[in-house]
Amino acid sequence: MEKKAAAERLQELRAQIAQHNYRYHVLDAPQISDAAFDALMQELLQLESLYPELVTLDSPSRRVGGTPSSAFQQVRHFLPMLSLENVFSEKDLRDFYLRLQKNIAAGQISWVGEPKIDGLAVSLYYEEGIFQRGATRGNGYYGEDITHNLLTIRSLPLRLKDAITAEIRGEVFISREGFLKLNECREAQELPPFANPRNAAAGSLRQLDPTVTAERPLDLFVFSLNGIRGIKFPATHWETLQYLGALQFRVNPHVTLLNGFEEALDFCRRMNGLRKELPYEIDGAVLKINSLDEQEQLGSTSRAPRWAVAFKFSAEEAVTRVEDIDVNVGRTGAVTPVAKLAPVLLAGSVVKRASLHNEDILKQKEIMIGDEVLVHKAGDVIPEIIEVLKEKRTGREKPFLMPVSCPSCQRDLKRLPGEVALRCLNPACPAQLIERLVHFASRNGMEIMGLGEALAEQLYTAGLVEDVGDLYSLHKEDLCKLERMGKKSAENLLENLQKSKGNPLHKLIAALGIRFVGDRAARLLAAHFQTLPRLVAATKEELLSVTEVGPKIAASLQEFFGQEETQRVLEKLARAGVNFAALPGGAAGEVEKGLPLQGVTFVFTGTLAQYTRREAKEIIEAKGGKVAGSVSKSTDYVVAGENPGSKLQKARELGVKIITESDWEHLAALS
């Protein structure tokens, strides 16, 4: 076929495939068979392979998965992606409504009600009607570029009917049926199942290889539009949703136009009643002021719009039986009782275990082996026993006593002063070592893909590793001898270990598993000391001089780095070439990457005219800054409102810059 004819045919194919995608994935009303659709797609791919210069940004071939990426780039949102204010009762919702009435001239408020899909929020950027880029929410101001993964979602249009330039917001999710099939497939491949549909969707969108994402049953509902060019903007949110539907986006069919509080409340009740019948997970209902003028009039805090609210449903509950109680030994030696439950379906996943946290909780709830119990998922994620159904006891239940010795190494357990947890204080305890390996390789640590709990246990049991430093001395020949570890898997693991050597310093500090040192503290320590040797040698006073590092963290750091075992591990890591220094550009920039007020400390004194203290603090923290309670030499600005107190005089004595509320507002707006 000649190039001109090929170009014309490709244009026809793109239009046909887009329309069939829309009918199948949005309208659920296909017009052709799967085989006929596949034939159109195959013809398009063949023509594009002959004439690669004819491939366009709206070509359906972009959906099949692109080249694997080594990392996600940060992108700035056109407008901040704010969270929603949550309410948990009808009384709280009424209070929210009454607050709105005070600020809106109209007597009866018109709302739009939407199901609150339990998925992952995304922003979609279109230029002249062509999909260009998509990103996660991130910190609300900057998100991760996940364009190649979003392209695999068939209900996402690549070309819009109108040539507009706009940012559309939506929620990516996996249906209940799709989630069950996905987990069946993973179990057949001897892979760990996903915990729930939301985690599965989030994990799929953060895959570095889009071909993996393309195999996941992701879907999308859109719910807002931020116009930039080419749009005659609707006057209401309801009209906006109708327009998005006309552009061939998938809009939730349960969105409803509501008038007044009673209709809004009835919508929330109705959605709660439909919760188990819907083909996807929802965890609440969202109510938005319909008038866009009123939305603009009400405005937003730094965290949430004042014109919308999420009515969160109570966590789903279920009754099951405690079949046994076991104990886990964590990486810090804490011994935690865990209830083994008769499997029960709860909030989208099968629950088999629930942490009992510590001996005091176990006694307080009077949980016995054999008890029937009421369980839910705390925060809709973590299985938790709410209460024992004592009226169902038969007399055959057995009490559980915490062990006096570690189940892993048999050393005596101790309860340290001021702590409720029993601990194994043996640094060579096998259970602790395995947990440290898992933590070191986790997403919050060095991000070594492929190294989970099962492999960590194998590595330790086979004598290949005794601590995290040994990971970098592994050889392919030894790995291939392990169960279910083929040549390719071994090569991938070694490649991921090699990549991890170049991680930023804060990733290594967090991966070491120091008590009380999480991601935030690790970033602050990396920013302050710049190299690991400087951190290791730091005095207590030097540690306490770091922002947000108190006596507890300082003592934990000194204890950790003072151990001979730690010194041996660090020597191994150094010999392996693991990065011990802040990367070029400075670790300070890693604390809150890209945020304009990063590292700037404010102190407020007196009463602000336009903001509450909480709102002001949220604005500063959202942009990477910090609000302190007292003035010191490290304070950058003191914001003086009406009737300032002694902090003003302290600022003058220390020479700290004093600004007005108006100055601060201008500074925050510019940053």
Active site residues: 116
Tokens 């510019």 — which residue? Answer: 670
Among candidate residues 499, 500, 455, the one with its CA nearest the CA of residue 481 = 455
Asked if 185 contacts 249 with a C-beta cutoff of 8 angstroms, the reply is no
Quote the CA–CA distance of 582 and 215 in Å, as a whole number.
Answer: 38
- Cβ neighbours of residue 154 closer than 8 Å, sequence gap 6 or more: 21, 24, 25, 63
C-beta neighbour count of 655 within 10 angstroms: 8
Tokens encoding 545: 């001089």
Distance from C-alpha of 56 to C-alpha of 71, rounded to nearest angstrom = 25
Would you give the distance in Å from CA 631 to the centre of its chain?
Answer: 34
Overall size of the chain counted in residues = 671
SS3 content of the chain, % helix, strand, coil (to 5): 40, 25, 40
Contacts of 273 (CB under 8 A, 6+ apart): none
Read out DSSP for 499-559?
HHTT--HHHHHHHTT-TT--HHHHHHHHHHH-BHHHHHT--HHHHHTSTT--HHHHHHHHH
In 370-513, DSSP assigns E strands to 372-378, 382-388, 413-415, 422-424
**Structural tokens at position 459:** 């590595």
* Helix, coil or strand: residue 329: strand
* Alpha-carbon separation of residue 454 from 187, 199, 330, 461, 484 (angstroms): 15, 20, 15, 11, 11
Which two structure tokens, joined as six digits, stand for 141?
Answer: 């101001």
Residue whose C-alpha is closest to residue 661's, from 625, 622, 608, 623? 608
**Residue of 521, 497, 501, 502 lying closest to 510 (CA atoms):** 521
Contact 20, 66 (CB under 8 A): no
Sequence letter at residue 190? E
The distance in angstroms from the start CA to the end CA of the chain is 56
Of 471, 524, 538, nearest to 500 by C-alpha is: 471
| Of the candidates 588, 602, 583, 593, the residue with the CA atom closest to the CA atom of residue 651 | 602
CA distances from 410 to 204, 238, 351, 438, 639 (A): 41, 65, 30, 22, 58
